[in-house]
Homo-oligomer: A and B are copies of this chain.
Amino acid sequence: MKIAWIGTGVMGKPMASHLSAAGYQITAFNRTFEKAKALEPHIKAVETIKECVKDADFVFSIVGYPSDVEETYKEVMKHAKKGAILVDMTTSSPTLAIKLYEDAWKLGLRMLDAPVTGGDIGAINATLSIMVGGDKEVFETVLPLLKVMGKTITYMGKAGSGMHAKLANQTVIAGNIIGITEALVYAKVKGLDLEAMLGVITGGSANSWQAQYNGAKMINKDYTPGFFVKHYLKDLKLVIEEKKDLKLAGVEYACKAYQILSDHGFQESGTQSIIEYYLRNMM
């Protein structure tokens, strides 16, 4: 069984390495060739998508933006062998995922959308949560491979459903982050001890993963990225694009805030830097 891996960045590198360590034969492509090359000798690096996918039974990809996904799969579909299963793990557009699924089907290929959560730590520790859309039987074929890379693998439904689930997950986080930030800004203005405040928040019904992970960073103005503003903004824009006339005030506000932060040089900061948006009164 041969596996093609496209995208060996901060997420793709450890994910492909887990498959390789589990004994699978991997051929990798990355736009910046050196990053793929660095995975040799365990993983074979090649300089074109064609070389990467032509003999593969499975093609996995995790690249940057929906435009990268589109460009990648234009090449993949030209060169993949009949019957191959394509799995895009990028957080990308559900509409694009559905289109690619249909294109693949017409070419005798199968496709899943399978974005992940858990960040680089989750990728390194193989504890990712993976949300999958596409045909159930294709999902079941790929499941053993996904289990090598992640801990919680959830089948969400037809093509596009994996992407939709990931976007819904990011929508929850928007609300969580806004709530924590507004509370800390309010507490600061009122002269409260912010460490004590965070203790109250994480000690009861206001507790969240985000408060535990980002709360202290917000207080200390530590904007070291766990998750980049530029990537989160991409995700939020996808929600806005997909939600159509559905009114989701929280996610709309978060998207606006992160756009403004991004315009002010915070693209490479962590999502917790949204507290600057409030403190600097950027709205």
Contacts and interface: CB of A to CB of B under 8 A. Distances in A.
Interface of A: 94, 117-119, 129, 131, 152, 154-158, 160-161, 164-165, 167-187, 189-193, 196-197, 199-201, 203-211, 213, 239, 242-243, 246-251, 253, 278, 281, 283
A189 B247 CA distance: 12
A169 B30 CA distance: 46
B200 A204 contact: no
Contacts of A164: 186-187, 190, 192
Given A182-B251, A191-B157, A283-B247, A205 B200 contact: no
B205 A156 contact: no
Most chain B Cβ neighbours within 10 Å, of A169, A177, A182, A200: A182
A179 B185 contact: no
B179 A176 contact: yes
A165 to B, nearest CB: 6
Q: In the A-B complex, list the 5 residue pairs whose CB atoms are closest, starting with the nearest.
A: A175-B179, A208-B208, A172-B206, A168-B183, A171-B183
Contacts of A119: 205
Contacts of A167: 186
A204 B181 CA distance: 20
A157 B193 contact: yes
Nearest to A118: B204
Contacts of A185: 246, 248
A115 to B, nearest CB: 11
A208 B176 CA distance: 8
Nearest to A196: B154
A118 B161 CA distance: 36
A30 to B, nearest CB: 26
Contacts of A193: 156-157
A275 B33 CA distance: 48
Contacts of A199: 152, 154
B205 A210 contact: yes
A216 to B, nearest CB: 15
Nearest to A206: B172
A180 B172 contact: yes
A160 B24 CA distance: 63
Contacts of A203: 129, 152
B117 A205 contact: yes
A175 B175 contact: yes
A246 B186 contact: yes
A182 B250 contact: yes
A206 B227 CA distance: 13
